[in-house]
Amino acid sequence: MDVKEFIDSLNNLDPENIGGWPFLVKALIWALVLVLAGSGVYYLLLSDSLDMLDREQKKETVLMGTYESKAHKAANLDRLKKQMIDMETSFGALLRQLPSDTEVPGLLEDISHTGLSAGLEFDTINLGTETVKEFYVELPIEIKVKGGYHSFGAFVSGVSALPRIVTLHDFSIKTGGSPNDLEMTITARTYRYNEQE
Protein backbone atom coordinates (compact mmCIF):
# COMPACT_ATOMS: atom_id res chain seq x y z
CA MET A 1 0.00 0.00 0.00
CA ASP A 2 1.53 3.31 -0.97
CA VAL A 3 0.89 6.66 0.68
CA LYS A 4 -1.73 7.76 -1.89
CA GLU A 5 -3.79 4.63 -1.40
CA PHE A 6 -3.52 5.02 2.39
CA ILE A 7 -4.79 8.61 2.28
CA ASP A 8 -7.64 7.55 -0.05
CA SER A 9 -8.60 4.76 2.35
CA LEU A 10 -8.69 7.27 5.24
CA ASN A 11 -11.10 9.46 3.26
CA ASN A 12 -13.36 6.49 2.49
CA LEU A 13 -13.59 5.14 6.07
CA ASP A 14 -17.08 4.20 7.07
CA PRO A 15 -17.69 5.12 10.73
CA GLU A 16 -20.51 2.56 10.82
CA ASN A 17 -18.22 -0.28 9.75
CA ILE A 18 -15.14 0.05 11.96
CA GLY A 19 -14.36 -3.63 11.59
CA GLY A 20 -13.81 -3.09 7.84
CA TRP A 21 -11.12 -0.46 8.33
CA PRO A 22 -7.55 -1.32 7.35
CA PHE A 23 -5.39 -2.89 10.05
CA LEU A 24 -2.86 -0.01 10.03
CA VAL A 25 -5.59 2.57 10.70
CA LYS A 26 -7.03 0.48 13.52
CA ALA A 27 -3.54 0.08 15.05
CA LEU A 28 -2.92 3.86 14.88
CA ILE A 29 -6.27 4.63 16.54
CA TRP A 30 -5.58 2.02 19.28
CA ALA A 31 -2.14 3.56 19.88
CA LEU A 32 -3.67 7.06 20.04
CA VAL A 33 -6.37 5.88 22.48
CA LEU A 34 -3.77 4.15 24.67
CA VAL A 35 -1.55 7.27 24.73
CA LEU A 36 -4.51 9.51 25.61
CA ALA A 37 -5.76 7.09 28.27
CA GLY A 38 -2.28 6.71 29.76
CA SER A 39 -1.76 10.48 29.83
CA GLY A 40 -5.15 10.97 31.44
CA VAL A 41 -4.48 8.37 34.10
CA TYR A 42 -1.05 9.86 34.80
CA TYR A 43 -2.17 13.50 35.04
CA LEU A 44 -5.50 12.88 36.74
CA LEU A 45 -4.62 10.04 39.11
CA LEU A 46 -0.89 9.44 39.45
CA SER A 47 0.88 12.81 39.27
CA ASP A 48 -0.28 13.98 42.72
CA SER A 49 0.54 10.59 44.22
CA LEU A 50 4.00 10.59 42.62
CA ASP A 51 4.69 14.12 43.91
CA MET A 52 3.57 13.04 47.37
CA LEU A 53 5.79 9.96 47.13
CA ASP A 54 8.75 12.15 46.20
CA ARG A 55 8.10 14.47 49.16
CA GLU A 56 7.75 11.52 51.52
CA GLN A 57 10.99 9.99 50.26
CA LYS A 58 12.79 13.27 51.00
CA LYS A 59 11.18 13.33 54.47
CA GLU A 60 12.29 9.74 54.97
CA THR A 61 15.90 10.71 54.23
CA VAL A 62 15.76 13.51 56.82
CA LEU A 63 14.04 11.29 59.38
CA MET A 64 16.58 8.51 58.83
CA GLY A 65 19.39 10.99 59.51
CA THR A 66 17.64 12.11 62.72
CA TYR A 67 17.03 8.50 63.71
CA GLU A 68 20.68 7.54 63.14
CA SER A 69 21.83 10.53 65.20
CA LYS A 70 19.49 9.67 68.07
CA ALA A 71 20.34 5.97 67.84
CA HIS A 72 24.05 6.87 68.11
CA LYS A 73 23.35 9.01 71.17
CA ALA A 74 21.20 6.28 72.71
CA ALA A 75 23.89 3.69 72.10
CA ASN A 76 26.42 5.92 73.89
CA LEU A 77 24.06 7.00 76.68
CA ASP A 78 25.74 4.94 79.41
CA ARG A 79 29.18 6.19 78.40
CA LEU A 80 27.91 9.80 78.32
CA LYS A 81 26.31 9.41 81.78
CA LYS A 82 29.59 8.07 83.16
CA GLN A 83 31.45 10.93 81.51
CA MET A 84 29.01 13.43 83.08
CA ILE A 85 29.57 11.91 86.54
CA ASP A 86 33.35 12.10 86.03
CA MET A 87 33.09 15.73 84.96
CA GLU A 88 30.94 16.60 87.99
CA THR A 89 33.48 14.91 90.26
CA SER A 90 36.34 16.77 88.60
CA PHE A 91 34.43 20.05 88.81
CA GLY A 92 33.75 19.45 92.50
CA ALA A 93 37.46 18.80 93.11
CA LEU A 94 38.35 22.06 91.37
CA LEU A 95 35.73 23.95 93.37
CA ARG A 96 37.28 22.64 96.59
CA GLN A 97 40.57 24.24 95.53
CA LEU A 98 38.90 27.65 95.33
CA PRO A 99 38.74 29.33 98.74
CA SER A 100 35.48 30.71 100.05
CA ASP A 101 35.20 34.15 101.67
CA THR A 102 35.83 32.68 105.09
CA GLU A 103 39.01 30.87 103.97
CA VAL A 104 40.90 33.97 102.78
CA PRO A 105 42.46 34.69 106.23
CA GLY A 106 43.69 31.08 106.35
CA LEU A 107 45.16 31.49 102.86
CA LEU A 108 46.96 34.68 103.96
CA GLU A 109 48.33 32.77 106.91
CA ASP A 110 49.55 29.98 104.59
CA ILE A 111 51.28 32.55 102.35
CA SER A 112 52.89 34.22 105.37
CA HIS A 113 54.04 30.89 106.77
CA THR A 114 55.48 29.90 103.37
CA GLY A 115 57.42 33.18 103.17
CA LEU A 116 58.73 32.97 106.68
CA SER A 117 59.77 29.34 106.13
CA ALA A 118 61.69 30.44 103.04
CA GLY A 119 63.55 33.04 105.14
CA LEU A 120 61.75 36.14 103.89
CA GLU A 121 60.78 39.22 105.88
CA PHE A 122 57.33 40.62 105.05
CA ASP A 123 56.88 44.36 104.64
CA THR A 124 53.23 44.35 103.57
CA ILE A 125 50.39 42.06 102.50
CA ASN A 126 47.43 44.02 101.13
CA LEU A 127 44.18 42.62 99.78
CA GLY A 128 43.08 44.23 96.51
CA THR A 129 39.55 44.69 95.22
CA GLU A 130 37.76 41.63 93.87
CA THR A 131 37.14 41.33 90.14
CA VAL A 132 34.02 39.41 89.16
CA LYS A 133 34.41 37.19 86.10
CA GLU A 134 31.84 34.92 84.46
CA PHE A 135 32.28 31.86 86.71
CA TYR A 136 34.70 33.03 89.37
CA VAL A 137 35.78 35.98 91.49
CA GLU A 138 39.44 37.00 91.43
CA LEU A 139 41.07 38.49 94.55
CA PRO A 140 44.52 40.10 94.13
CA ILE A 141 46.92 40.17 97.08
CA GLU A 142 49.82 42.61 96.90
CA ILE A 143 52.89 41.22 98.70
CA LYS A 144 56.14 43.04 99.48
CA VAL A 145 58.98 40.96 100.98
CA LYS A 146 62.70 41.23 101.63
CA GLY A 147 65.27 38.49 101.47
CA GLY A 148 67.70 36.65 99.26
CA TYR A 149 67.30 35.44 95.71
CA HIS A 150 67.10 31.76 96.70
CA SER A 151 64.54 32.61 99.38
CA PHE A 152 62.36 34.20 96.67
CA GLY A 153 62.57 30.96 94.66
CA ALA A 154 61.64 28.85 97.69
CA PHE A 155 58.71 31.19 98.42
CA VAL A 156 57.35 31.01 94.85
CA SER A 157 57.72 27.22 94.86
CA GLY A 158 55.98 26.96 98.25
CA VAL A 159 53.05 29.14 97.13
CA SER A 160 52.57 26.99 94.03
CA ALA A 161 52.37 23.91 96.27
CA LEU A 162 49.55 25.32 98.44
CA PRO A 163 46.30 23.29 98.37
CA ARG A 164 44.37 26.34 97.13
CA ILE A 165 44.70 27.87 93.66
CA VAL A 166 47.04 30.85 93.88
CA THR A 167 48.80 32.37 90.87
CA LEU A 168 51.66 34.84 91.02
CA HIS A 169 51.90 37.85 88.67
CA ASP A 170 53.70 41.14 88.05
CA PHE A 171 56.78 40.71 90.20
CA SER A 172 59.63 43.14 90.46
CA ILE A 173 62.90 42.72 92.33
CA LYS A 174 65.00 45.65 93.54
CA THR A 175 68.51 45.32 94.83
CA GLY A 176 69.71 46.64 98.12
CA GLY A 177 73.37 46.54 98.92
CA SER A 178 74.04 42.78 99.02
CA PRO A 179 72.70 39.61 97.33
CA ASN A 180 70.70 38.82 100.46
CA ASP A 181 69.23 42.33 100.67
CA LEU A 182 66.69 42.18 97.83
CA GLU A 183 63.13 43.51 97.81
CA MET A 184 60.42 41.77 95.82
CA THR A 185 56.96 43.09 95.07
CA ILE A 186 54.57 40.47 93.67
CA THR A 187 50.84 40.10 93.12
CA ALA A 188 49.25 36.83 94.19
CA ARG A 189 45.81 36.13 92.81
CA THR A 190 43.40 33.70 94.38
CA TYR A 191 40.04 32.69 93.03
CA ARG A 192 36.67 31.61 94.36
CA TYR A 193 33.60 30.26 92.65
CA ASN A 194 31.07 32.92 91.69
CA GLU A 195 28.01 31.46 93.39
CA GLN A 196 25.69 34.02 91.78
CA GLU A 197 26.42 32.43 88.37
Cβ atoms of 171 and 185 within 8 Å: the answer is: yes
So where are the chain's domains? 1-75, 98-193
pLDDT in tens, the chain (197 residues): 567 776 777 777 777 777 777 787 788 888 999 999 988 888 887 878 888 889 999 999 999 999 999 888 888 888 888 999 988 888 777 766 666 665 778 888 999 999 999 999 999 999 889 888 877 888 899 999 999 888 999 999 999 888 888 889 998 988 877 767 889 999 999 887 776 65
Task: Give pLDDT, residue 56.
Answer: 92
The count of C-alpha atoms lying within 13 angstroms of the C-alpha of 113, restricted to the half-sphere facing its C-beta, is 8
Name the nearest CA neighbour of 13 among 4, 3, 1, 21. 21
Instruction: Map residue 121 onto helix, strand or coil.
Output: strand
- Count CB atoms within 10 A of the CB of residue 155: 24
The answer for residues whose C-beta is within 8 angstroms of residue 175's C-beta and 6 or more apart is 181, 182
Estimate to the nearest angstrom the gap between the alpha carbon of 47 and the chain centroid.
44
Task: Give pLDDT, residue 115.
Answer: 92
Name the nearest CA neighbour of 194 among 113, 152, 106, 134. 134
What is the spatial distance between Cα 78 and Cα 82, in angstroms, rounded to a whole number?
6
Pairing mode, strands 166-175 and 182-193: antiparallel
Characterise 147 by phi-psi region: left (phi > 0), alpha (psi -120 to 50), beta (else). left
Q: Looking at the whole model, is its pTM more than 0.85?
A: no
Q: Which CATH architecture has domain 98-193?
A: 2-Layer Sandwich (3.30)
